[in-house]
Amino acid sequence: MTESFSELSLAPSLAKAVAKMGYETMTPIQAQAIPVVLQGRDVMGAAQTGTGKTAAFSLPLLQRLLRHENASASPARHPVRALVLLPTRELASQVADQITQYAEFTNLRCTVVFGGMDIKPQIAELRKGVEVLVATPGRLLDHIEGKSAVLNQVEYVVLDEADRMLDIGFLPDLQRILSHLPKKRTTLLFSATFSTDIKRLANSYLQDPVTIEVARSNATAATVEQRFYSASGEDKRLALLALIKQHDVKQAFVFVNSKLGCARLARNLERDGLRTAAMHGDKSQDERLKALAAFKAGEVDLLVCTDVAARGLDIKDVPVVFNIDLPYNAEDYVHRIGRTGRAGASGLAISLVSSSDGRFLGDIEKLIKIKAEVEAIEMPVASGRAPRDDRRPREDRGQQDRPRREERIDKRDDDRMANRAESRDPKARYQPVRQTKSDPLFDKPYEPSLPPETTPAWEAAPSAKPRGISANIKSRRKVAALFKSTV
């Protein structure tokens, strides 16, 4: 079996790019998959995360596309020849970057399309013509319906992280996309795990595939040390701080289950003085890419994230992965801890287990066939807070603080406060103080300004009624009025 890239019959342009990236020895999945793909066979490949699946399909794919290489500026000379589908935006962006590096010294074009970004620049890029299109299923369907992506000349289809695409409900989208492709094509399916649904998908769309499985299904890397500690609630954050200090962690992934919990934990860790970034589904694509770039550049110590970052992200030399929450799906645990110990390096995976996590821990033990030993951790006392055993109930704190509040009351109210304290009725404390002084002006009864016998002149009764009017008819009351002159 070929073990070195130099032994492969790669084109000089591809071999030059591989050498520039520093690749010398192939991983097991690369050594077995590349020769098979070069023969044009369908492949169903399984390997644990971090073993180089991207190079295993992209290098032979580019090698076979070199016959279509041309320097023409016409978009018609650069139709989509290869389609790579991935479940998340981060994975799509990462795979497109790697393929672009492999094709650096060729005239083959590669671009990526995914949701969460403005579609207009993607349409403009597709209209220029590309040979390799990397996409997420949802956004690709938008381009297909908008006629900006034409797939009638596709020769190669790659379904990467296929199990994840099925988990998040992309099967109907995959079926619609594959229906737009030519029947005669080469299909490559790569996944970190094989399940019954994956095998059913392979039987539907792959023709006589070669199965390549270089690791036990759902196995974790032997280079990753796994440890479990008991902690729950708010103590998990304190335990995380203690473990970071204990292991002298410089950079780490911190996984939680919910988007709200991710944002809250990132804020709290930032207040604790740690350089932290949050990455979850409610973040915009631009925010997620910036957080990932800052983590890769070493500008961020802790990347607090949900399972959106659990698969495929290739960040080298990340020493530790923390699981603040055990994942609901045991397979996600395998992918989470796969963010460390990559490319043969050693790594550490630490999980915090609460009393309600028994079922999740049992599923993990059953899946990866280990016996987890949950250790106790000594919790530090939070700065500025009393130990938990010494905290007083709220009512006790109020009774002890009341004399201090009374000392600040003005001296002129001392007698009044003393009288209230003597009263046994608790409502007496809130009774208003009665006024002892009075003003004669306000005590004096109301007196009209005019004598009672005085009446307005316009209401005075006439001395005699006009002639011809009955005495039983009362005259109308006269009312004073103001009239505005129109002159």
Taking CA atoms, 228 is separated from 112, 210, 242, 321, 365, in Å, by 39, 38, 14, 12, 12
Query: Rounded CA gap, 318 and 337, in Å?
Result: 11
**Are 190 and 263 in a shared domain?**
no
Residue 264 burial (CB < 10 Å; 0-12/13-18/19+)?
middle
Q: 146-150, 356-360, 400-404, 448-452 — which one is most confidently predicted on average?
A: 146-150
User: 176 with 307, same domain?
Assistant: no
So what's the pLDDT on residue 181?
A: 93
pLDDT band at 49 (very low <50, low <70, confident <90, very high): low
Could you tell me if 265 and 135 lie in one domain? no
208 and 237 share one domain: no
Q: Give the number of residues written for the chain.
A: 487
Are residue 208 and residue 256 in the same domain, yes or no?
no
Of 375, 400, 428, which one is at a domain's C-terminal end?
Answer: 375
Listed in sequence order, the residues at least 6 apart from 105 whose beta carbon sits closer than 8 Å to its beta carbon are 13, 14, 16, 17
Q: What is the mean pLDDT of residues 401-430?
A: 47
Q: What are the C-alpha distances in Å from 449 to residues 446, 452, 453, 481?
A: 10, 9, 12, 22
- Tens digit of each residue's pLDDT (9 = 90 or more) over 167-213: 778 889 999 999 999 989 999 998 776 777 888 888 888 988 998 88
pLDDT at residue 456 tops 80: no
* Partner residues linked to 305 by β-bridges: 255, 279
For residue 392, being part of any structural domain is answered with no
User: How many domains does the chain divide into?
Assistant: 2
Mean per-residue pLDDT, 327-337: 85
Domain for residue 443, yes or no? no
Q: Which pLDDT score, from 0 to 100, does residue 423 have?
A: 47
Whether the per-residue pLDDT at 285 is higher than 80: the answer is no
> Residue 425 corresponds to which amino acid?
D
Res 167: pLDDT: 76
Q: Which domain holds residue 367?
A: 224-375
Range 267-292 average pLDDT: 87
For the segment 258-270, the average pLDDT, to the nearest whole number, is 91
Burial of 296 by CB count in 10 Å (0-12 exposed, 13-18 middle, 19+ buried)? middle
Residue type, 85: L
Tokens of 139: 């956004």
For residues 341 and 194, membership in a common domain is answered with no
Predicted pLDDT at 434: 54
Q: How high does pLDDT run on average in the chain?
A: 80
Q: Is 90 found in the same domain as 71?
A: yes
pLDDT confidence bin for 84, thresholds 50/70/90: very high
User: What's the pLDDT tens digit per position in 100-149?
Assistant: 999 999 999 999 999 888 999 999 999 999 999 999 999 999 999 999 99
**What is the pLDDT, as a whole number, of residue 126?**
95
- What's the pLDDT score for residue 77? 93
My answer on whether 57 and 135 are in the same domain is yes
Last residue of a domain, one of 163, 182, 213: 213
Residue 64 sits in the same domain as residue 107 = yes
Residue-wise pLDDT for 430-452, tens only, equals 455 555 566 676 667 766 665 55
Residue 193: inside a domain, yes or no? yes
**3-state secondary structure (DSSP) of residue 322:** strand
> What's the mean pLDDT in 228-237?
88
Q: Tell me what pLDDT residue 462 has.
A: 54
pLDDT score for 408: 45
Residue 476 falls inside a structural domain: no
Choose the final residue of a domain: 375, 399, 418.
Answer: 375
Residue 152 has a pLDDT of 93
15 and 86 belong to one structural domain:
yes
Tell me the CATH number at 40. Answer: 3.40.50.300
In a domain, residue 455? The reply is no
For residue 64, pLDDT beyond 90: yes
Residues 115 and 43 in one domain: yes
Weakest mean pLDDT among 195-209, 306-320, 468-482:
468-482
Whether the predicted pLDDT of 472 surpasses 60 = yes
Q: How far apart are the first and last CA of the chain?
A: 116
| Per-residue pLDDT at 396 | 46
* 418 is a domain residue: no
Same domain, 234 and 181: no
Residue 468 pLDDT more than 90? no
Closest to 151 (Cα-Cα) out of 69, 84, 82, 76:
82
Decide if 32 is inside a domain: yes
Higher-confidence position of 466 and 346: 346
In a domain, 410, yes or no: no
